[in-house]
Amino acid sequence: MAGGFGIESGGVTKDYPGKVTAYVLITCIAAAMGGMIFGYDIGISGGVTSMAPFLKRFFPAVYRKEVLDNSTNQYCKFDSILLTLFTSSLYLAALVASFGASKVTRNLGRRWSMLLGGTIFLCGALMNAAAQNILMLIVGRILLGVGVGFATQSVPLYVSEMAPYKHRGSLNVLFQLSITVGILCANVVNYFTQKMANGEGWRVSLGGAAVPALIIGISAFFLPNTPNSILEKGNPTKAREMLRRIRGVSDCEVEAEFSDIVEASKASKAVKHPWRNLGKRKYRPHLIMSVFIPMFQQLTGINVVMFYAPVLFITIGFGNDASLMSALITGGVIVAATLISVYGTDKWGRRSLFFWGGGLMFIFQVAVASLIGWKFGVTGQVDNLPGWYAIVVVICICIFVSGYAFSWGPLGWLVPSEIFPLEIRSAAQSIVVCVNMLFTFLIAQIFLTMLCHLKFGLFIFFAFFVALMTIFIYLFLPETKNIPIEDMSQVWEEHWYWKKYVVVDGPSFSEKV
């Protein structure tokens, strides 16, 4: 453990029996598909907002600036508040929806949240595909956002509660994996629809969101509720049976884990105001993590590439086709690198992945800034960009993306979902979603303006935050791999800084065991 700033997993932990049964695997995969609706959206907007027929119809001013006006600084061509609002409105809606989702998740169960999310999302997709004016576009985006808010609130919790603790990391990362598959699918769809002769390809792109919506909606319909959720709703016999079934163990073997869940559930029931509770001193580390982890995830700058890769590549001189092609490549890279974390989170631990990812992102963001700055200067104009140079830029962007994909991408969702005790879990997860969406919104909204003003320095701006967040992890985040969720309090009790907040009078976790 680096610098002794956390507790090494594998310290004093309980050992609940249980394996990855086919049942748990299928339910987790089905639930994780909820990430696809989020990913599809992330990937689709960049390509659509770079399609000329779409711009011409809904954003004629941007279209004129892009096509006709050569005087504008290259970095500023796409700088339009309305255009960015198209991308960002979804995240604002998701932010607001996450609060309603918290209530549904807690009272009706994680499954209903997913079902509701999928259905609302489907309506948004249909509305967007049929859009006749900008109002329909934005209302559609808002409905999609509500769906995303529900899915991101419920899926990570669902998977973390279903998974046996030793495989919680890998199973939870499936959520991020399906986000990235969604992004890749969207990029592929855009690549082809952009070539559609009738200029209506954007409708297919936007309407395509109905496919992941149906997948999550139908899967959620058949999914069982988690044992924790069944217990929260007051049905202990059913909860015990469900736990036994998903762990694939005998009746007596499930006892230890079940009684810990019952304890946690009692504590959770005693809490009438989970929100107010979050303000208590003993939940300080949880509160800080629920704000800083999603905030830092967004400040890696990943969504600059995800939302605006095509626009970004056009800006630095690639043709339309080449820029969508490059977005496709980054989409492929993000899926492949996420697989590293499926394998590595439970093996190497969360902290190692954060450090490696942080290091790679920092180096290659600085490299991208230097490469763009060197050739494009402050005007963004370049005559005849050599092919090899463009390839080097794309490779550096891909390495940055892969650094994110095995670290902050999956861990930005996994770590919060596993550190909250049940009594504050839904409320704290809402904060995670809310902060994540707030920063996603802000970056989507101001990126094009920032690009216009900071130019290539934009990448240095994000590199600074990557350095900061890596230090933050080193100092403040304990290792959580291989620790059962209900025993998580130990990592804070033994942490050099957090122990003064969480240790109340009485024996510490290791003394208790």
Widest Cα–Cα separation across the chain = 76
Which of residues 225 and 440 has its CB atom nearest to ligand BGC in the complex? Answer: 440
CB of 427 to ligand BGC, least distance (A): 20
Applying CB under 6 A, which residues contact ligand BGC?
Answer: 42, 176, 179-180, 183, 297, 302-303, 306, 334, 409, 412-413, 436, 440
Q: What Å distances lie between residue 511 and 13, 230, 388, CA to CA?
A: 12, 31, 61
CB of 497 to ligand BGC, least distance (A): 26
Which of residues 300 and 323 has its CB atom nearest to ligand BGC in the complex? Answer: 300
Which of residues 125 and 177 has its CB atom nearest to ligand BGC in the complex? Answer: 177
CB of 461 to ligand BGC, least distance (A): 17
Contact 470, 355 (CB under 8 A): yes
CB of 305 to ligand BGC, least distance (A): 9
Rg value, the chain, Cα: 23
Phi, psi torsion values for 433, nearest 5 degrees:
-65, -45
Which of residues 261 and 337 has its CB atom nearest to ligand BGC in the complex? Answer: 337
Q: Rounded to an integer, what distance in angstroms lies between the CA atom of residue 492 and that of residue 509?
A: 10
CB of 343 to ligand BGC, least distance (A): 17
CB of 487 to ligand BGC, least distance (A): 26
CB of 114 to ligand BGC, least distance (A): 17
CB of 297 to ligand BGC, least distance (A): 6
Which of residues 28 and 183 has its CB atom nearest to ligand BGC in the complex? Answer: 183
Q: Residues 334, 152, 130, 137: what is their CA dihedral angle, to the nearest 10 degrees?
A: -90
CB of 444 to ligand BGC, least distance (A): 9
Contact 334, 179 (CB under 8 A): no
Contact 258, 241 (CB under 8 A): no
CA angle 325, 327, 329 (to 5 degrees): 75
Q: Residues 166, 488, 255, 263: what is their CA dihedral angle, to the nearest 10 degrees?
A: -150
Q: Rounded to an integer, what distance in angstroms lies between the CA atom of residue 433 and that of residue 381?
A: 39
Structure tokens at 175: 């959520």
Which of residues 296 and 413 has its CB atom nearest to ligand BGC in the complex? Answer: 413
Contact 171, 159 (CB under 8 A): yes
Which of residues 177 and 246 has its CB atom nearest to ligand BGC in the complex? Answer: 177
Which of residues 219 and 436 has its CB atom nearest to ligand BGC in the complex? Answer: 436
Q: What Å distances lie between residue 218 and 118, 120, 122, 246, CA to CA?
A: 8, 13, 12, 20
Which of residues 285 and 412 has its CB atom nearest to ligand BGC in the complex? Answer: 412
Q: Letter for the amino acid at 255?
A: E
Q: Rounded to an integer, what distance in angstroms lies between the CA atom of residue 434 and that of residue 153?
A: 9
Alpha helices in 406-505 (DSSP H): 408-419, 422-454, 458-476, 489-493, 499-502
